[in-house]
Structure 1
Amino acid sequence: MVYRGRPSKSCRECRRRDIKCDKKKDACSQCARAGLSCSGYQNPTDLIILDETPTTAEKVLRGRSLQRQSSPDPLSTRLLPTVLQRAKYLYISQYVEDKPATSLFSYMQVFYPSKSDDFPLLETVINAVFMATFSSLQGCQPALYHAQVGYGSALSLTRKAIQSPKEALLDRTLFSILLMSVFERMANSERQGFNLRNRHLQGAFELMSFRDKGQFTDEGGITMFLHLTELVVLDCLANEVDIPPRFLSLRQKALENGADTSSLRWRFLDLMLQYAQLECSASSTAAVEDAIYRAKTLDKHLDQLSKHLPSFISRRQSPEPPNTSATRSDIYPDYNTQRCWNNIRVVRIQLARIIREQYARILGKTNDDSSIMGELHNSNQRAVSLSSDICLSVPCKGTRGRLPYRITSIQSSTLLFHLYVAKDMFSGPAESRLSIPERLQYLKERQPPSRHKSWDDLLYDSHKMPQNVWEVWLRIGREDYSI
């Protein structure tokens, strides 16, 4: 008889799904949110006693002997569960812990782990995403191979799911398809010239259009709809195409059926949607004044939206001259606040670019070129100011101990994208004053060694550097682009 301690205070379902249980008296919130029947809690005064009989010990020893005789392949069937477990913990540490509940990645814990005999599609997709993340962060090509095999199985299971009228309408089916779109980006982003078109997006909003209107007031349904909005917008921006009319119809359906439009995330993605439509029309429209008006209006709304974000300590607003202690950076209360501010700044920088391009088209064709030159100057100054804020948000080497939070490799990819957008506004003394090379180095050091060459190609090789900043995001971004 072996004493194994006291039982867990969590309910059985939360222990099975490997998530945190809030231990509410009647039933835990995690079970209620996932629509599961809470099994209740064990008596904390009980003891766990393991009956280790001679027969049990002999069985364990026999099993270990068979394991030693099996293939030494590090990703063989014998060892794959161990690698998968490592991949799962790595994914959770990067995406789920301490993340906003609105993130699609955090929302995964509502469904996972699922019983494979209940819904094998979601199980297969999630395991493929785990392995793809592990491959990306650890440079493990065998893990990517197993991830791609799992993805192939998921495609077959998806076809079966959408052919079933019952399964096609389940949250889990839609969630699986959204995760498959995430997998495509994650598994293909290292390839040069990879296809940016996301093949699962149209299927996702077609599937959502057949679901009942209650999805737009349900917490899980609106989370998935907002993530779908983000994926569609980024796909259109990277490929320089307009928003699909079918998706706009779905969005109108959401508005008509009581979707909550008051959240900062909804408002930001709504402005992103308008910005994507402006990007598509600005290069071809003859109405320059209309494009300028729309860009200025969006910039104003984004500026107002940023005022709802938590504040931070800004170097530029302190009495200290900005050209002293160049390695110092602004101080944000947490990483999520830093990310949200910079996400807004990147879009505003792109709007400033549109304004400059539109004014340049009419320069010399009007009777008031001095006014146009003034507008060009103001727009350029606004972009420089926003870019400076992005640069100062990124720490330099040696500032780690003063940060109130830790920056993971996933998060450093996001900050590197922000800095990539901002650094094009500077050269020479300005770049030195803002310590841009030191900030790039700080972020690069937080990337796995297997990705350093990709970063160097992106940052310093003009032949491999995409012209479209949103294509860069699809290549290196590993988080939600939202607030």
Structure 2
Amino acid sequence: MVYNGKPSKACAHCRRRKLRCDLRKQACGQCLRAGLACTGYRDPGQLRIQDESESTKQRALGFKSRPITSAIQVPLEETARAAFFSHYVHGFSTTYDVLELIGGQSGLDKHLAASVDAVSLAFFSFQYDAVSALKPAREKYLSALPLVKAALGAPELLASNSTLLAVLLLDLFEKITNRSPISSESWMSHVRGALVLARLRDPAQLNTYIGLRLSVRLFTNMLISCVAANAPIPPALTKLHIELQPHVRGDDPKWRVSSLVMKYANFRGTLQGGLLSHAEVLKRAKKLDGEFSSLARDLPPCWISQRVALQKPSSTVLEQYYDVYPDYFTAQACNVIRMMRILLNDLIRQTYLSTVAASGYLEPQALNVGFASHLIDSMAKEICAAGPQFVDLPEARNRPSNSSPSRRMHCYTLLLPYYVAAFSASPETGVREWVVQRFRSMATNLGIKNAAIVAEMLERRDGTSPWSVYATLGSYAFAA
């Protein structure tokens, strides 16, 4: 008897008597008397574990392979919408996080859904250099326009959150696809329309998260649009700023920056009239620069950067150090302050030089020109020191990983501050040459085409206005 390859007791009896019952082809008498059916010993070859891998492989090769599943085709619109949400709602920028809250209440209204589709395709085309998405983006945009117009004619939708958001998204579409603010009326048409809508809304909506968030977004978008297009600040925007004041933290650095930028925009508007004397220009410019400087000194401790010195020379930093910020958004806000100070001091420097040209004597103004240049160079170097943390240094703290989708956007939003620094800094600082190298690196290693375009502007020294560059880069479409 065999059990699990081992002989039974009866077979053990056979072994003690040295009987070869397995060769007799019958059971021995002892086994029969014990009432057991002895089958004898098994063939050792049957008990041996053998490697059947090769024979199994050969049998498998005899069958025709078939794919288990077919490839999943995700529609372009769904892919684009997912990219848009991952950037503007959940990811790098939460600028339009209210979209999820509005959609979660009762689903998206048709005009809002159409606007989301249009701007999603436009963003996808830019972010992933997907030319195939640009045509359907424009088609969706054209189909969204009549839907938004119909919503404006419906009393229940006219002043709704969904309608205001839809118009803001159409404005975002224009900023992504249209880079010529001076020559195109459409570049500001939607944000102007949104400002009109805001006047029709119940003031109580500022007490809600969605209402306040949309109004602050509208204020910021309209303000920056005016600055970039060199347009005057409309009275309605000034009124909106006053209405928002009680609902925001007065000590919020970002709000304080926005308020000072508004003063800067009004100052630029006054300059366009050409009615200010050199003395008045200098007085107002210095006063505003002092306010930006005061804001920079009063930043919360959690905003303060830490300087890190490099042990070895590196082409990825201008001077042998870089600054580490708590996060990208803090660094961005600090760079806005520096850009404003550079632009103001460049105006101060040019005004002094104009005075020199008129009088023919440099000596009285040489010290003032030198001081303005010193401030510009200092701000330019600080901008350059703020970039490596997010772009070039693999050992830098709080740096996005190479695989992070936000890293490319981090680099992209550095284009404007880098350009302003290179545009205005003194030649002896080497800022222009260093920035051009960084732009070339971004274009080559990260595929940022606009980095190469801006690098060429600096190399040509064609004097392109920083605000024109800002519009070319997509304005606030890609900044937080």
Q: TM-score range by the shorter chain?
A: 0.7 to 0.9
| Aligned pair partner of 2:399 in 405, 414, 417 | 405
Cα distance in 1 between the residues matched to 2:84 and 2:463: 28
In structure 2, the residue corresponding to 1:314 is in which secondary structure?
Answer: strand
Aligned: 1:111 with 2:116:
no
Cα distance in 1 between the residues matched to 2:182 and 2:258: 29
Aligned: 1:132 with 2:122:
yes
Cα distance in 2 between the residues matched to 1:293 and 1:124: 49
Instruction: Tell me which structure has the larger Cα radius of gyration.
Output: 2
Extract unaligned runs of 5+ from structure 1.
1-64, 69-77
Q: 1:378 to 1:178 in 2, by over 3 A?
A: same
| Aligned pair partner of 2:168 in 173, 178, 191 | 178
Equivalent position amino acid for 2:87 in 1:
Q
| Aligned pair partner of 1:469 in 466, 470, 478 | 466
In the other structure, the counterpart of 1:418 is: 417
Per the TM alignment, residue 123 of structure 1 is displaced from its structure 2 partner at its CA by 1.2
Contact kept, 8 Å, 2:115 with 2:169, in 1: the verdict is yes
In the other structure, the counterpart of 1:348 is: 341
Cα distance in 2 between the residues matched to 1:235 and 1:157: 25
Cα distance in 1 between the residues matched to 2:432 and 2:347: 27
Between 1 and 2, higher relative CO (CA 8 Å, sep ≥ 6) is seen in 1
Query: What CA deviation, in whole Å up to 9, does each residue of 1:306-326 have, x standing for no partner?
Result: 33151112358x999999984
What pairs up with 1:34-433 in 2 under 5 angstroms?
A: 82-97=75-90, 99=92, 103-112=94-103, 119-189=109-179, 197-255=187-245, 261-283=250-272, 284-306=274-296, 307-309=298-300, 310-314=303-307, 326=319, 328-363=321-356, 370=363, 372-395=365-388, 399-406=393-400, 408-426=407-425, 430-431=429-430
Cα distance in 2 between the residues matched to 1:395 and 1:247: 37
Cα distance in 1 between the residues matched to 2:441 and 2:105: 39
Cα distance in 1 between the residues matched to 2:449 and 2:318: 33
Aligned residues between the structures: 402
In the other structure, the counterpart of 2:435 is: 436
Cα distance in 1 between the residues matched to 2:347 and 2:236: 27
Per the TM alignment, residue 408 of structure 1 is displaced from its structure 2 partner at its CA by 2.2
Query: What CA deviation, in whole Å up to 9, does each residue of 1:52-107 have, x standing for no partner?
Result: xxxxxxxxxxxxx9x99xxxxxxxxx95x53233223333343444557xx52333
Per the TM alignment, residue 228 of structure 1 is displaced from its structure 2 partner at its CA by 1.8
Per the TM alignment, residue 382 of structure 1 is displaced from its structure 2 partner at its CA by 0.4
* Cα RMSD, aligned residues only: 3.8
Cα distance in 2 between the residues matched to 1:94 and 1:327: 33
Query: What CA deviation, in whole Å up to 9, does each residue of 1:6-31 have, x standing for no partner?
Result: xxxxxxxxxxxxxxxxxxxxxxxxxx
Cα distance in 2 between the residues matched to 1:254 and 1:202: 18
Deviates more, 1:322-331 or 1:301-310: 322-331
In structure 1, the residue corresponding to 2:275 is in which secondary structure?
Answer: coil
Contact kept, 8 Å, 2:442 with 2:451, in 1: the verdict is no
Q: 1:106 to 1:478 in 2, by over 3 A?
A: farther
Cα distance in 2 between the residues matched to 1:258 and 1:115: 27
Contact kept, 8 Å, 2:345 with 2:375, in 1: the verdict is yes
Equivalent position amino acid for 1:228 in 2:
L
Cα distance in 1 between the residues matched to 2:210 and 2:445: 33
Cα distance in 2 between the residues matched to 1:154 and 1:433: 43
Per the TM alignment, residue 161 of structure 1 is displaced from its structure 2 partner at its CA by 0.8
Q: Which structure carries more helix by proportion?
A: 2
In the other structure, the counterpart of 1:18 is: none
In structure 2, the residue corresponding to 1:363 is in which secondary structure?
Answer: helix
Cα distance in 1 between the residues matched to 2:104 and 2:80: 14
In the superposition, the TM-score normalised over structure 1's length comes to: 0.72
Per the TM alignment, residue 181 of structure 1 is displaced from its structure 2 partner at its CA by 0.5
Extract unaligned runs of 5+ from structure 2.
1-68, 401-405
What pairs up with 1:15-30 in 2 under 5 angstroms?
A: none
Deviates more, 1:369-378 or 1:301-310: 369-378
